[in-house]
Amino acid sequence: MELRWLEDFIALARTRHFSRAADEQNVTQPTFSRRIKLLEEEMGTTLINRQTLPLSLTRAGEEFLALCEQTTERIRITRDRITRLDEAQSRRLLLAAPQSLLSHFLSGWLDEMGQPPLQPYLRATGWLAADYFQALERGECDLAACYWPKGRTTLELDMTAFEHRVIGAERLVPVTIPDGFGKPRFTLPGERRAPQPLIAYHARGLMQAAIEDHLVRQPQACHFNVLTESIQSSNVKELVCLGHGLGWLPERVARDVLATGQLMRAGASHWDISLEVRLYRHREARQSGLENFWSTLDAAAV
């Protein structure tokens, strides 16, 4: 049994005339009559009293009409809901970002932007820099937020297919636990004979690239013993808090533990590293919701 058969029956019950009902349903009268006959065969009973003028429904037909009206109405309501869900989903943009930006920056920024329809793409929290741009290329996400060095970066990334907007600023600050006398347990720059234990970021990540670029431009060389490499700043923070070494953290991430004295700076301010918070999109992505959001960004920057 097809949905259009039910709609045919409702039209016939309303018009009480095969020809007019067929016109309403945009089919020929023979086709319409054949559908009604198939419907009666499917139900195993006569639904239309064809001996009256105008046509009338049998008692079974009256009962069946109520079912047709209930069924088609429920389907209409469900279709409307699905359409609204599809429309809402088409307006919702997937945003890939590292965990630290999701936790310490993006929620406040989205509030300032008026809560645009952005949905965090949580698979991205463990990605390296290249993964974000590959995902944008594949259409796996619509936007990618990331830290970006203000200077040059040694990472080899082809950025020609992407455009970005700067949406914020951050600083990486070197931190360590205090020793028993309230002084930093580990300090920059370290010595060749006594290198400082370093909780580093992954070598193919933007954080480590920014740190290394900053260090080579300092008048003093740093001496480190790299203990481990981490993708997420939360992992670096945890290991530094456990006293395993020093590490650089985004200032927003370190703010609470610096305020309580659980961590302290491991060096003077010239070891701080300035970063931009950038939002990237693929140049050829033309989804309407993305275009509208990008225009909102441009308007907010004016």
pTM tops 0.75, yes or no: no
Beta strand ranges found along the chain (DSSP E): 48-49, 56-57, 93-96, 118-120, 143-149, 162-176, 196-201, 224-230, 247-250, 264-265, 273-282
Residue environment code for 175-194, b if the CB has 16+ CB neighbours within 10 A, otherwise e? bbbeeeeeebbbbbbbeeee
The whole-number mean pLDDT for each consecutive block of 10 residues of the chain, a chain of 302 residues, reads 86 91 91 91 91 89 91 85 60 87 90 80 88 93 92 79 94 96 94 95 92 91 94 95 97 96 96 95 85 83 60
Q: What is the three-class DSSP state of 219?
A: coil
Sequence-separated (6 or more) residues with CB below 8 Å from residue 198? 224, 225, 226, 227, 245, 246, 247
Domains of the chain: 3-90 (1.10.10.10), 93-295 (3.40.190.290)
